[in-house]
Every structure is written in C-alpha cells, then in structure tokens.
Amino acid sequence: MRLNEITDVLEAIAPTALAEDWDNVGLLVGDYEKSIKRIMFTIDLTRGVFEEAKNKKIDLIVAYHPPIWEPLKKVVAGHGASPLLYELIRSNMAIYALHTALDSARGGVNDVLAEMVGISDAQVLAPLKSQTSKTCKLVVFLPENDLEEVSEAIFAAGAGRIGEYGKCSFRYQGTGTFQGSDATSPAVGRAGRFEQADEFRLETIMPAKKLAPVVKAMIKAHSYEEVAYDIYPLMDVPGDTGLGRYGDLPKPINFDILLDTVKKKLKVETVGVIGPARGRIKRAAVCAGACGTLFREVIKQGCDFYLTGELKHHHALELQEAKITTVCAGHSITERIILPKLAQRLRRECKELKVSISRQDRDPFTWI
C-alpha cells in the first residue's frame, strides 16, 4: 500500500482536526507516494524502538507521542533536540503521530479507558469547541468530460473522506458563462465571444492541510485554461468528541474491586491514590496521560472516581479536598492500552500489511 492510503485509514481512526491546537499530529516524516509493507506501533520513539524498527525493516512507525514537538532549526547527525530524526530519515522510515487526535476521537484511548472502568454511555468531559480552517470544502466547476478524471485526482490527493467513507462528493448540473479575451484559448467556445456551457459543480471536503496537493491535482486534471473553484473553511460542531470521558456505572461498585480491575487491565502493580481509598463508586471519569485542569470538570460532574495518568501536586490537593477518589497509574501506562486495538484495526483494514507493536516501547519509570 502507498503511504497516503494508510494515512487515510489513520485519519479515519483519529481525525487530525480533533487534535489540540498546540499538538503536532499526522505524518511528520515521509513520502506519501512511498510503498509501505511493515508498520509498527509505539507510544514513544526511543533509541530502543528505532533499533527494533530497523531490525524488523519497518517502513512506518505510528507513534502516540509526536517525536517532533518544538520547531527544529537543524537536523544533524548526533546533534540537536531530535538526534534520532536524522537516522530515521536516513533509514527511509516514515513516522506518523496520533496523540490528542486519538484522545478526542470516538473509539480512541479515552473510550477504551471508560470501557475498562465500566462506564456505560460515556460522555465527553471537555467537548471540542467549534473550530475553523481544520477542515475545508472545495467546489470546482467543470465540463462533464472532466468529471470523473478530476474527481479521481482529488480523491487520490486526499479529498473526499468522511469517517469510514471515501470518495465522498456532491455533483449537480448547471450553466456556466464566460467571455475570454482575444489572447485566450478556451477549451469550450471561441475567444472574444460570450459563451454559455453545460457544466457540473463538484463539491467535496478535506483536511485543510491537504488543500494544496488537492488543488494542484485538480488543476492538473482539469481541461480548462482557467479553472473556476471556491474554497470554504468549515466549522466543526461540538459533539461526542473531545478530551476525557465520564458517566455512571451500571451499578455501584466497591473501590477496592474497581482498583483491582484497573491494575489488572493496565498491567501494573503500583498506582498513586488520592482521596478516599474506600467506599462505593457510582460515577466515574477517565482521562489518559496528563489532563491539566480537566479534573475540575470531573468535580463539576459529580464523579466519585477519576482515573488518569498523572497530576500536578496542587491539582492533586484540589481533588483531595473535593473527596474524589483519584488513581494516577502513570502517564504512558494509561495510553498504551490502545495500541493492541489500533494494531488489530490496521490488520483488519489493511490485510496486505505486516502490523506489529514495539517490544522495546515501555514506560520510562520503574516503580520499586
């Protein structure tokens, strides 16, 4: 499969438009036209993960945390903020990051945590606010003879995907008018004359970051000397995507039983507990990794229990004062639970690929 076909699948799983503004998700290194045979999932790109990828002849590393975070001024062997980046490029590997796009997406890491805890009908703690320009609509006017060729060109460049559906568009027929100067060579009619032509209006959508290659492909496939097209930024409607999840359990459960479930599912023996270490849990909340001030929404929603990766000290004190039983299981530990599900989905949707999970990827902390 080509890399652009795989990134389309990853985009459907965790749309990059869902990522936080400060984040850096999507394809970070690579050539969209490259043929991909082997993919490896990891939370972090470390030296051990990179060496494992080289040994396995991996073509694409899909990392949860972006290995390119702050702006890079240079990429030099053995120097700078990302010494592995130079070697990654030399090894002809691509890397794709998911991070907060996967946090916010339905079916992502927070939904998996909510299911693990036993939350029924999980609600979003912090729904995404309306945003513009991360998704846009392209409208182009063209003759019927160009319709299929232009459509296929823009779909191949990254347009027309809505969730699990590809090649999405809307078309309707109308009349276009124009009058070119004597210096023009119109594909329809004659220069210097007012013309009316049967045309189609073709509409489709795409991530804003794919706008440039889509427009380039559209113009190349179009037969007109001057292509008439419009671009509209789209506003995302807040809904069932965003950070964190909360909801009621089917029936109240003792904290010690819930804690045993969490430790077993996350494969840990030690966790940090804040607040009451006893009692019955009726309403729970989860948020993978580090969730900043999102804990205040946990308090607002009247939750008895909160599972997260890590907290700042003064945030832990606020939860303690609110008497909310809170479990900190480790930043990457709360995220790693999603990797087997991601690998399983890629194997199902991209059967010709060899998909693996890194064995060298592990939490940087050793709890003694």
79 pLDDT higher than 80: no
Residue 196 forms part of a structural domain: yes
Same domain, yes or no, for 280 and 208? no
Cα→Cα distances 368→146, 232, 351, Å: 66, 55, 41
Identify whether residues 38 and 60 lie together within a single domain. Answer: yes
Does residue 300 lie in a domain region? yes
- Per DSSP, the three-state class of 210 is helix
Q: Are residues 141 and 198 in the same domain?
A: yes
**Interval 208-212 mean pLDDT:** 90
204 and 342 inside one domain: no
| Strand 280-290 to 305-310 pairing | parallel
Closest CA to 150 of 211, 208, 224: 224
Instruction: Let me know if residue 366 belongs to a domain.
Output: no
The tokens of 16 are what? 């990059």
Span 103-107, average pLDDT = 93
pLDDT at 237 over 70: no
Tell me: do 87 and 40 sit in the same domain.
Answer: yes
Report yes or no on 117 lying in a domain.
Answer: yes
Element (DSSP H or E) covering residue 99 = helix 99-104
130 confidence band (pLDDT: 50, 70, 90): low
Mean pLDDT of 239-243: 82
* 351 and 300 inside one domain: no
343 and 330 together in one domain:
no
pLDDT band with cut points at 50, 70 and 90 for residue 81 = low
Using the 3D structure, point to which of 234, 255, 270 is the last residue of a domain: 234
Q: Are 88 and 51 in contact (CB under 8 A)?
A: no
Range of the domain at 207: 135-234
pLDDT confidence tier of residue 164, bands split at 50, 70 and 90: confident
> Please, is 99 exposed, middle or buried when counting C-beta atoms within 10 Å of its C-beta (0-12, 13-18, 19+)?
buried
Whether 104 shows a pLDDT value over 90: the answer reads yes
Q: In sequence order, which residues have a C-beta less than 8 Å from that of residue 342 and are 6 or more positions away?
A: 13, 41, 62, 98
- Are 46 and 77 in a shared domain? yes
* CATH value at residue 20: 3.40.1390.30
Q: Are residues 116 and 253 in the same domain?
A: yes
Are residue 309 and residue 246 in the same domain, yes or no? yes
pLDDT digits (tens, 9 = 90+) for 170-179: 999 999 998 9
Q: Does residue 59 surpass a pLDDT of 80?
A: yes
Q: Which of 234, 261, 279 is the last residue of a domain?
A: 234
Could you tell me if residue 224 is inside a domain? yes
Q: What is the CATH number of the domain that holds 161?
A: 3.30.70.120
Higher pLDDT, 120 or 336: 336
Evaluate if residue 41 carries a pLDDT over 90: yes
Looking at the DSSP bridge assignments, the partners of residue 274 are 326
Q: What is the CA radius of gyration of the chain?
A: 25
Q: What is the mean pLDDT of the chain?
A: 92
The stretch 294-300 carries a mean pLDDT of 96
- Residue 132, pLDDT above cutoff 80: no
In a domain, 362, yes or no: no
* Number of folded domains that form the chain: 3
Find the distance separating the first CA and the last CA of the chain, reported in whole Å: 44
Say yes or no: 19 and 42 in one domain.
Answer: yes
Average pLDDT over residues 117-124: 93
Decide if pLDDT at 222 tops 90.
Answer: yes
pTM of the model: 0.74
pLDDT at 238 over 80: no
Task: Please write the tens of the pLDDT for every residue from 8-33.
Answer: 999 999 999 889 989 999 999 999 99
Which of 234, 266, 292 is the last residue in one of the domains? 234
Looking at the domain assignment, is residue 201 inside a domain? yes
User: pLDDT value at position 80?
Assistant: 60
Structural domain contains residue 65: yes
Instruction: Give the containing element (helix H, strand E) for 40.
Output: strand 38-42
Confirm if 132 and 232 have CB atoms less than 8 A apart: no
Judgement on whether residues 67 and 81 belong to the same structural domain of the protein: yes
